[in-house]
Structure 1
Amino acid sequence: MIIVATKRVPALEGFFREEDDGTARLLGGRCVKCGASFFPMQWSFCRNPVCEGAPLDEVELSHTGTLWSFADNQFSPPPPYPQADPFVPYGVAAVELTAERMVVLGQLASGTDTKTLSVGVEMELVVEPLYETAEEIRTVWKWKVADKS
């Protein structure tokens, strides 16, 4: 009998949440005192240099934003980072979140051709598999060009 992994689990707990309908939200923190948002979440103190606030609330961040910058990585990452064998080039995107106006870095979704991208295009958050075990599919967040429909 062949058992197929069906349980999807974030590769990095606490960084994002995937809903049953496939939508995803990054999880960040918001300072109770000044309202500044951060990603990833940090519980100990507000990172705003002019704020001395300590309590932060966990919040769901925007799932859309504007492409701020991007790169096409044609080289394998150096140790100690995991390396695919064979190496497959991948793109990364820096996306400015719509509501929070902060930039979040992530890989580009599978099938995204960096030659078709331009700074300023609307992007949306998606979740894709990183690797599979016998019990689960480990997932990560990525960015893709937003659907216009």
Structure 2
Amino acid sequence: MDEIKVGDKLPLFGAKDQNGHDFYIASVLHKKVLVIYFYPKDDTPGCTKQACFFRDQFEEFKDMGAEVIGISGDSVQSHKQFAKKYNLPFTLLSDDDKSLRKLFGVPTNLLGLLPGRVTYVVDKKGIVRLVFDSMNAENHFPKVLEMVKSLM
């Protein structure tokens, strides 16, 4: 599939979460604003900073009716350890076969060696309202918060 762009409908997908349970996006689609972020790897400096931002803002996102979902190619076990180590209260999905990355059209960086870091904000109608692509984890924070607030 081509890259998902602003204005596109979010495709339906499912994956294993950090607890090994099946998670289907249809369970939250049309009920909440969704913040779906793809990141390169558990427990690396930028990815930890990004995850901890979502953790620290989690109550605010929750109060606004938003659901945060992190996705990387790490295993369920890696996600479980990452979530436990940093007390991450949101869903982490394992994309170990890179099918979700392909579905969303998330690019790779550094000559194709590093999985990209892209954040999507999806409204309650299932329409993508923000696609933010930056390897700098901190650049995502203000844009995502601003977009989620504007959709409330």
Query: Is TM > 0.5 for Structure 1 vs Structure 2?
Result: no
Query: Which structure: larger Rg?
Result: 1
Larger fraction in helix:
2
Looking at both structures, which has the greater relative contact order when contacts are Cα pairs under 8 Å and sequence separation is at least 6?
2
TM-score (ref. length: structure 2) = 0.26
TM-score (ref. length: structure 1) = 0.26
